[in-house]
Amino acid sequence: MGPGGLGVLFIGFSGYFLILAFQRATVTQPLIVHSATLPAVHRRQLAGSGITVIALTGAAAGCLFGLLGLGVGGHAGRGLLLFAPWLIPSLLQEYWKAILFQEGKAFAGAMSDVLRFGAMCAAALLILVRHADYMIAASWGIGAWVGLVIALVGFRTFPKRPREALRLWGGEAWALGRWLGVREVSFQAGTYSTVLVLASVLGTADLGGLRAAQALFSPFSLIDAAFVLPGLPAISRALRVSRHTAWQLAVRISGAALLLAAGYLVVMTFAGRWLLTSLFGHSFIPFDTLIWPVAVAQLLGSAVLAFPMLLMAERRGVGSAFAAAVGSAATLACATLLAVGYGVTGAAWGWTAGTAVTAMAFFLIAMRTPTPRVATRSRVSTEMSDPR
C-alpha cells in the first residue's frame, strides 16, 4: 500500500485504539481491580456483566465510526469506515483475554492471541487477490473473531442481561472506572489529535513512515500487554499485604520491562534498517533514522510501566487522569511544533518529549503516599471483598 496507504490505515486503527483504551479504562481494569480478590462465583458474575457492557459500547462505537467516516470523508473518513465493522469482536477478544489472565488461565489467554495472529495472517492472503486497504482491515477483523472464540472456550460464562450488567458494573468498578475513563479519553484523544494534526502538517506519506518506525522500533506495545495482563491483578493482591510490597512489585515489573526494551533496541540498532526495508519496502528507507527518538520514548515508557497500575490498584483515579492530561497536552504541543519546524524527524522527537512528560507525571504521583481518605476506601473495599 505504500506510506500513504499505511497512513490511512493508521488513522482508522488509531480511532479503534481510542475506543479500546476507553474500554480497558472504564470496564476491564476497574472490574479486575475490584474482583481480583473476590471468590470465583463473584468474579464470574462480574466477567459476564463486562461482556454485555462491551458488546453494547462496541456496537455504539461502530455506528459512530460509520457516521463520522461518511461525514468527514477523505483519508480520515475512509480510515474510520475500514475498521467500523470489526470493532465488537476485537473489543470482546481483548476483554476476555484479560479475564483469562485474571483467572490464572494464562496459556488460554496467550493461545487466543496466537491463533488470532495466525488467522489474521491466513486471511491476509486475500490481499494477493485484490490489493485494497479494506482487505487488510478484513484480515485483522477475521483474526479477532477467531481469537474471541478461543478465548470464550478457555473460560466459559454467559453475558448478563443489560440491566443486571449495568448494575454490577456500575457499583465499585464505576467509581474507579469513571476517572480512568477520563484519563484514557484525554490521553488517547490527545494522541489521536496529534495523529490528525500531523497528517495535515506532514501528509499521509510521512505519517505512514512515522507509524512504520513506531511499529518496528517500538516494543512497548508488546511489553505493556505482556506485563499489564498479569501485573494489574498481582499488584492489586500485593496491596492487600502492604503498600511497600505493592511498590516493590511495581519497581520489579518496570525494571524487567526496561531491560527487555533495551535488549530489543540493541538488536534494532544493527538490524533496524534491513528489517524496515524488508517488511515495509524500499520506499520507507528515509525513515530509518527515526529509530533514535522512538528508542528513547520506549525506554522512558518502559521505566515507569507499572506505576499507572499501582495508581489503579490504589483507586487513585484522579491522579491517573491528571497525569494523562498533562502528558496528552505535552505530546500534542511538542509533536506539532517540532513537526512544523523539522518535519517527520521533529515530530518523532516531539512525541518523545511528550512521553517524557507523561512518564514523569505518573512516577511523581505514584511516589506520593495516598491520602488517608483514598487509602481507607481502598482498604475497606479490599476487606469487604476478602472471602474469609
Mark whether 381 and 287 lie in a shared domain: yes
Q: Are 157 and 29 in contact (CB under 8 A)?
A: no
Mark whether 148 and 201 lie in a shared domain: no
| pTM of this structure | 0.73
Mark whether 374 and 301 lie in a shared domain: yes
Last residue within a domain, chosen from 170, 202, 228: 170
Q: pLDDT for 137-168, tens place per residue?
A: 888 888 999 999 988 888 888 888 888 887 77
Q: pLDDT for 186-196, tens place per residue?
A: 877 787 788 88
Mark whether 69 and 113 lie in a shared domain: yes
Mark whether 235 and 320 lie in a shared domain: yes
Mark whether 68 and 127 lie in a shared domain: yes
Last residue within a domain, chosen from 121, 143, 170: 170
Q: What is the pLDDT of residue 172?
A: 64
Mark whether 166 and 203 lie in a shared domain: no
Mark whether 156 and 213 lie in a shared domain: no
Q: What percent of the chain has pLDDT over 90?
A: 21
Mark whether 104 and 215 lie in a shared domain: no
Q: pLDDT for 52-90, tens place per residue?
A: 888 898 899 889 888 888 887 777 788 888 888 889 999
Mark whether 268 and 315 lie in a shared domain: yes
Task: Give the three cell numbers for residue 34.
Answer: 475490584
Burial class (CB within 10 angstroms; exposed 0-12, middle 13-18, buried 19+) of 329: middle
Mark whether 83 and 197 lie in a shared domain: no
In terms of residue numbers, what domain contains 58? 1-170
**Number of domains into which the chain is organized:** 2
The 3-state DSSP class for residue 247 equals helix
Last residue within a domain, chosen from 109, 137, 170: 170
Mark whether 215 and 363 lie in a shared domain: yes
Radius of gyration of the chain (CA): 21
